[in-house]
């Protein structure tokens, strides 16, 4: 996709990427066209004109893997002009989970990818673009959310907790 120009200014492409995680694994797609030798990437692609980035992330995940995803949050906006060697693309990255966990194992490559596969966090292949960086940010966010919830539950008293049923979990947390 060639960069558009507006009033003589070249505009970067707008893309989305989604870190889909499930049972300690990350969903990756094997690209038909390697980028700098890397064939594995996060599900993602270009935002269509008139499309919201959240909708684009859901669409691309479904198109490339066959899996419906629930977005849990924003990882960040990744705009390094060198993140994609083909052209300047800005990515809005999200993290999410399978909408129906019972269908998580049925992922398949479709659209512009050869294959979709779950990878253990400690055994990720070489990734295209800046996707290792995006995954690192997503894992930091997920870990901080879990730590924050754990801390809030541990600090509950009988007068109130920020999470329903948290007082009953104190015995489980020690």
Choosing from 60, 63, 68, 115, the catalytic residue is 115
Q: Which long-range contacts (CB under 8 A, 24 or more apart) does 102-110 make?
A: 103/67, 103/68, 104/22, 104/23, 104/67, 106/66, 106/67, 107/27, 107/65, 107/66, 107/67, 108/65, 108/66, 109/29, 109/30, 109/64, 109/65, 110/63, 110/64, 110/65, 110/66
Name 163's Cβ contacts closer than 8 Å, sequence gap at least 6: 149, 152, 153
Please provide the size of the chain in residues: 174
- Annotation says 115 is catalytic: yes
The residues annotated as belonging to the active site are: 115
């Amino acid at each position: 996709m060639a960069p558009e120009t507006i009033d003589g200014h070249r505009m970067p492409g707008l893309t989305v990427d989604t870190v889909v995680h499930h049972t300690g694994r990350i969903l990756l797609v094997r690209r038909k066209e390697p980028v700098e030798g890397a064939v594995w990437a996060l599900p993602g692609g270009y935002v269509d004109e008139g499309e919201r980035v959240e909708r684009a992330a859901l669409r691309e995940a479904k198109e490339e893997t066959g899996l419906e995803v629930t977005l849990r949050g924003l990882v960040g906006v990744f705009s390094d002009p060198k993140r994609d060697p083909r052209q300047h693309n800005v990515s809005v990255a999200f993290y999410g989970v399978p909408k129906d966990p019972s269908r998580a194992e049925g992922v398949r490559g479709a659209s512009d990818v050869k294959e979709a596969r779950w990878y253990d966090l400690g055994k990720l292949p070489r990734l295209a673009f800046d996707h290792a960086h995006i995954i690192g940010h997503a894992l930091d966010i997920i870990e901080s959310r879990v730590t924050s919830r754990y801390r809030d539950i541990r600090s509950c008293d009988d007068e109130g907790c920020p999470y329903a049923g948290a007082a009953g979990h104190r015995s489980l947390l020690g």
